[in-house]
Structure 1
Amino acid sequence: METTYLVVTTALFAAVVNCCPPTDQAALLAFKSALTEPYLGIFNTWTGTDCCTNWYGVSCNPTDSRVIGIILRGESEDRIIETASQTSYMSGSLSPSLCSLDRLTTLIVADWKGISGDIPACITSLPHLRILDLIGNQITGEIPADIGQLGKLTVLNVADNNITGNIPPSIVNLGNLMHLDLSYNRISGEIPADIGKLSMMSRALLKQNQLTGSIPISITKIYRLADLDLSMNRISGTIPAELGSMPVLSTLYLDNNQLYGEIPESILKNTGLNIVNLSSNALVGYLPDVFTTTTYFSVIDLSHNELKGSIPASLSSAKYIGHLDLSNNHFCGAIPAGSPFEQLEAASFSGNDCLCGTPLTRVC
């Protein structure tokens, strides 16, 4: 009898453990009730008492069945979306009930086009959150001021929304952050001066906002930074020469800002840089004559500035330059012969004061 009782009790206990707690289920249902997804029917799977089994996009810890992940992508290769005849679309808002899921490590609600409202401020109380990805919606309001409390966060992606306000100063406390994408919003103010404290960051993408001020010198201290995109803002000041000394920086987009001064030689001497776009600023002076047989760029775009002088002949010695745009400056003199010039179109040199030679029709 005791053995039978023990077996039944153990089985019942296992069944309870393998079923998500009622508090987690209630939080998910409240989250669901704030959203409308009319085409794919993904929330039709959110039925029954066990949110750990067959609830689309929900994952649980196998040990205690606590909810640890919500992954809902409107654009993905998932079968339920690939086979749908309708465009993925979801509207509504992000319910603060999410903050009850205190074991959550991953929250991805991305590319649904119609989700609006604020990011719940209480989301900063989730101690285990590692990934917060809300790209491609219509979220408004500001980034929560206490975002820096998410000490385990590695990915913060809120790109392509309608977020306003400043970059919270506390963001520099995200010591594990590796990927930061705030692009395509309406964020204003200056980049925090001590952003260099984000020592683990490899990508900083802040494109197309309303950021002002100068490029913080501390950003050049981020050893792992490979991609920096500050384009299409209102950033002013000079380009820090230290950017050219960053050891793993590969892409540098500073175009469409209000930068002035000369182009630091170090930028074009950095053999690790692959893409440099400094176009549509107010840069002056000469194009640095620093090109060698180790120079390798996929893109150099310096168009729409106030650069002057001749085009350095050393450019012809470069190992590879895939795309070069020097248009709409004040360059003068003969375009050097040889590669890469013989592969470039006239548009790369148009709008200058007195350039001549191939590929332009103007004869020297």
Structure 2
Amino acid sequence: MAALSLYLLLTWMFLFSLFRTRFAEVLCHADESSALMEFNRSFRTDTTDWRCVYPKVHSWSLDGSGDCCSWDGVECDEVTGRVIALDLSSSCLSGTMRPNTTLFRLVHVESLNLAFNSFNFSPIPYGFSNLSRLQYLNLSISDFCSEIPRDISQLSGLVSLDLTASCETLHLPNMGDLVHNLTGLKELFLSSVSLSSPFPPVLANFSSLTSLGLASCGLNGDFPVNIFQLPNLEILDIHGNSNLSGFLPKLHWGSPLKSIYLSNTNFSGEIPASIGNLSLLTKLDASECYFSGSLPSSLGNLSHLTALVLHRNTLQGQIPVSFADLTQLSVLALSSNNLSGDTLEWVVNLTTLTFLDISGNSFFLSAGSVRSLSFSLCNFMEPPTSRAPRRSLPPRPPPRPSSRRPQAKPETGTSSSTSRPTSPSEMPRRSSSPPPSCPKPYPLHQWPPLACSVEDQRVGRVHRVHRERESEN
């Protein structure tokens, strides 16, 4: 019996090796090899571009001979030999994308990634509907301009769509028309695309969404609160939409949320205690909004939180002692609110903290209480004390005339808080350009996240956000 089992095992292994060999001998088809070579010839490689990592097309045959399935960035089906994936991201491509690009002849392709190249501000070509099997499409940060073609909406099998813009004129007249047929999307990134429209409520029905990036799109109107309740949403980034209003849900959240970016929006109201139920949350940036009320003690339940950025709101009251339980926290920015208190003893528990800014509040700290803390980590702001002046914040514009009675200024202590209007319509918008020196009391997206030095500015804000998103995936 044992001998029979051994015989059957050896026979199975032999047959399997034959099939593997047969599959490995399948070469790519001549028409697809020709399409790839024609596409390659229409561009040059620019290794000086900041997005360039490696020119993958340099491994391609100059005359199109050989097996294109072995070329860098090309993946073929092992049985049919058809090209099913093309990844030329950060491949140093430079040139104009032709309207009749030969990529549309790769009709079996399921994944297409042309991100981080330079297509010289040419329009995204019309014709993606030819690629009916496409599931992943990434054209981000590649200098595409003009209007996004509507036929992308016909790709009903799309799981991931990333059109993050690096050109100010890339626009979409009606976002709802683009996404209404893409109900299977798990990832949608249209940051910096000019939308200038209300937030499309249809997205609240996209139950498969795990990542939604619509930063700096000119969105306006009301943000649907049930977006926060999507069952699979992990990353929500809508920062930089200064005319987008909204509030945080008081009761129900989508429990998988890991990162929330709301800075520079018109969000207002209180931060609800229910936010403490987001057990997987690692980053929360709600800076330069209009949140009011006190900080809920339930924030201390967020044991995975690494960055909490709430500066320039109208929060008041004391910092909850439960903040001592945020042992993974690296960035804490609470400046320019109306917070108060006379102790920072809870800080000693935050052993991973590398950035702390509580300036511009009403803290009354004795010199002794400050000296008892160890501020040895990089990027710490000087804490305000009753004797030493704090660092000044960048100047802010004067408030608009209002019939409201201004708040009384504190008579003693170190607070330099100015009277602030309490509603979004009365509060002036603040500049989002960072000051020249580090550290910066500015939104998390404009920092080198959790770093001590300023990142090379040629990489830019959008590139850092893209890299952060990839690391979270």
User: Shared fold (TM-score greater than 0.5)?
Assistant: yes
Mapped to 1, the partners of 2:131 and 2:191 lie a distance apart of 24
Q: Write out aligned runs for 1:8-157 (5 A).
A: 18=27, 20-22=29-31, 24-37=32-45, 40=55, 42=58, 45-48=61-64, 52-74=68-90, 88-96=92-100, 97-157=102-162
TM-score if structure 1 supplies the norm length?
A: 0.79
Q: 1:173 aligns with which of 181, 187, 191?
A: 181
* CA shift digits 1:303-330 (9 cap, x unpaired): 0112223323343455554332210012
Q: Write out aligned runs for 1:292-307 (5 A).
A: 292=300, 295-307=303-315
Q: Write out aligned runs for 1:320-359 (5 A).
A: 320-339=328-347, 348-352=357-361, 354-357=362-365, 358=370, 359=383
SS at match of 1:338: helix
SS at match of 2:336: coil
Q: 2:171 aligns with which of 142, 152, 164?
A: 164
Q: For the structure 1 residues 243 and 253, does the alpha-carbon distance in structure 2 shift closer, same or farther, using more than 3 Å as the test?
A: farther
Q: Is the 8 A contact 2:97 2:125 kept in 1?
A: no
Q: For the structure 1 residues 51 and 69, does the alpha-carbon distance in structure 2 shift closer, same or farther, using more than 3 Å as the test?
A: farther
Aligned length: 336
Q: For the structure 1 residues 294 and 181, does the alpha-carbon distance in structure 2 shift closer, same or farther, using more than 3 Å as the test?
A: closer
Q: Is the 8 A contact 2:27 2:69 kept in 1?
A: no
What is the CA-CA distance between 1:176 and the residue it aligns to? Answer: 2.7
Mapped to 2, the partners of 1:70 and 1:257 lie a distance apart of 37
Find out whether 1:266 has 2:271 as its counterpart.
no
User: Which residue in 2 is equivalent to 1:219?
Assistant: 227
Mapped to 2, the partners of 1:198 and 1:102 lie a distance apart of 27
What is the CA-CA distance between 1:112 and the residue it aligns to? Answer: 1.5
CA-atom RMSD, angstroms? 3.2
Compare the two structures and name the one with the higher strand fraction. 1
* CA shift digits 1:109-164 (9 cap, x unpaired): 12113443222232034210011111221001233324332122122122242222
Structure 2's unaligned 5+ residue stretches are 1-22, 48-54, 371-382, 388-412, 414-473
Aligned-partner residue type, residue 72 of structure 1: L
Q: For the structure 1 residues 264 and 94, does the alpha-carbon distance in structure 2 shift closer, same or farther, using more than 3 Å as the test?
A: farther
Mapped to 2, the partners of 1:91 and 1:265 lie a distance apart of 52
Q: For the structure 1 residues 328 and 146, does the alpha-carbon distance in structure 2 shift closer, same or farther, using more than 3 Å as the test?
A: same
Q: Is the 8 A contact 2:316 2:339 kept in 1?
A: yes
User: Which residue in 1 is equivalent to 2:444?
Assistant: none
Q: Is the 8 A contact 1:320 1:340 kept in 2?
A: no
Mapped to 2, the partners of 1:94 and 1:210 lie a distance apart of 29
Q: For the structure 1 residues 146 and 335, does the alpha-carbon distance in structure 2 shift closer, same or farther, using more than 3 Å as the test?
A: farther
Find out whether 1:361 has 2:385 as its counterpart.
yes
Structure 1's unaligned 5+ residue stretches are 1-13, 76-87
Mapped to 1, the partners of 2:72 and 2:302 lie a distance apart of 51
Q: For the structure 1 residues 139 and 270, does the alpha-carbon distance in structure 2 shift closer, same or farther, using more than 3 Å as the test?
A: same
What is the CA-CA distance between 1:243 and the residue it aligns to? Answer: 8.3
What is the CA-CA distance between 1:276 and the residue it aligns to? Answer: 1.0
139-148 or 40-49, which deviates more: 40-49
TM-score if structure 2 supplies the norm length?
A: 0.62
Q: Is the 8 A contact 1:274 1:297 kept in 2?
A: yes
Q: For the structure 1 residues 243 and 107, does the alpha-carbon distance in structure 2 shift closer, same or farther, using more than 3 Å as the test?
A: farther
Percent of residue pairs bearing the same amino acid type: 26
